[in-house]
Amino acid sequence: MHIEPTIKNILSQSWLIFQENINNILIVTIIIGIPLNIMLYLIPMGDDLEGSLQYYKYVGYVQGLFGILATIAIAFITRAALEHEPITWQESIKLAFNKWLQVIGTNFLESFLLVILFLLLVVPGIVFAIFWYFVTYITIFTDKWGMAALKQSKVLVKNRWWKSFGFIMLFTVMALVVGIIAGIPLAYLPENVIFYVLGGLLVDIAVSFFSVLGAVFYFSWEHSKIEIPVKTLSS
């Protein structure tokens, strides 16, 4: 499972896995995406700024609670592909539900702490947002969750914070660009639930690649983590 932690290797390995497992990824995305997008459609959007902010807040809640299932399932498909032991989409969804509550709890804890850090000072918020970037995948693939996952993520990033920052920013911008491009048709589709769900699925499928990339990114960092010398720890 060794993956050299370079942008080229992470992207190429992720694309290869995405292509080879596209059927399972599509099925998982569609099964989870249809009810998810129906729920999103039913959230009322206000006519003023406050109403719009409320809308996007509720969208974030729904995405965080239910959209994460697809991320978890695709992460398991990715690990299975890296280990050359493919799993079915049914198995990936079952594994996702087994980890669901732990991932939600850990992500809630991370978000709560980051809000506090950003309110106190912006810089600590940015620093720890990078330190804790891998908490979702640590919770998915290990027995650690909550504070243990936050600490483990910091271990992975420590001594290569700037490199992690660069990779994360690049992958985030790529995901945003892909999501925006995939979402353009939504502006031209009739406003009804069917077209809303179809348009939402198009975006979900386009960005599902980044769930693969996130898992590959995590494994590349995990298998190349920089150990802190004993002398440094004791000093």
pLDDT digits (tens, 9 = 90+) for 167-205: 999 999 999 999 999 888 877 777 788 888 888 899 999
| Residue 180 counted as domain residue | yes
Q: Looking at residues 108-112, what average pLDDT do you find?
A: 93
The answer on pLDDT for 234 being more than 50 is no
| Residue 53 counted as domain residue | yes
| Residue 150 counted as domain residue | no
The answer on pLDDT for 231 being more than 60 is no
**Residue whose C-alpha is closest to residue 218's, from 141, 103, 147, 159:** 141
- In this structure, the dihedral spanned by the alpha carbons of residues 35, 168, 136 and 225, taken in order and rounded to 10 degrees, is 150
The residue segments making up the domain with residue 220 are 7-107+155-225
Q: Looking at residues 90-107, what average pLDDT do you find?
A: 95
| Residue 234 counted as domain residue | no
Q: Looking at residues 105-122, what average pLDDT do you find?
A: 90
Q: Enter the pTM of the model.
A: 0.87
| Residue 186 counted as domain residue | yes
Task: Specify the number of domains making up the chain.
Answer: 1
| Residue 208 counted as domain residue | yes
Q: Looking at residues 97-114, what average pLDDT do you find?
A: 94
The whole-angstrom distance between residue 12's C-alpha and the CA centroid of its chain comes to 18
| Residue 135 counted as domain residue | no
The answer on pLDDT for 228 being more than 60 is no
Buried b (16+ CB within 10 A) or exposed e, 173-210: eebeeeeeebeeeeeeeeeeeeebbebbbbbbbbbbbb
| Residue 38 counted as domain residue | yes
pLDDT digits (tens, 9 = 90+) for 13-57: 999 999 999 999 999 999 999 998 888 888 777 666 666 777 777
206 and 179 in contact (C-beta within 8 Å)? yes
The answer on pLDDT for 208 being more than 50 is yes
Please tell me the distance from the alpha carbon of residue 210 to that of residue 136, in angstroms, as a whole number.
13
